Structure 1
Amino acid sequence: MAHIHNFGISFGLLSGLVSPWFLIFIGFFVTGIIFYMMMQAKNKMEKI
């Protein structure tokens, strides 16, 4: 058994390889796509 700390994506797998600003941009981009898809939905239940 090993004691492991999970510091998240910023300090884990992508540590030092990807700028934090790039990860922030990706998050905003994905959020924007989801918001756009919600606004384009014809079904009222999907617009929630």
Structure 2
Amino acid sequence: KITITSAGYVTSPGYPSGYPVNQQCSWLIQAPDPQQKILINFNPHFDLE
């Protein structure tokens, strides 16, 4: 059973504007409860530069 209670997007700072050369970003994604699991779906629109 999968229940989606919240959805969102991960983007670079300032998206959709450009970002500085050699920009490095990291994100910490945590569930409110340690017993909960997080599903991350990289859809066909996932792009790396």
Give the TM-score normalised by the residue count of structure 1: 0.21
Q: Which has the larger radius of gyration?
A: 1
Q: Of Structure 1 and Structure 2, which has the larger fraction of its residues in helix?
A: 1
User: Structure 2-normalised TM-score?
Assistant: 0.21
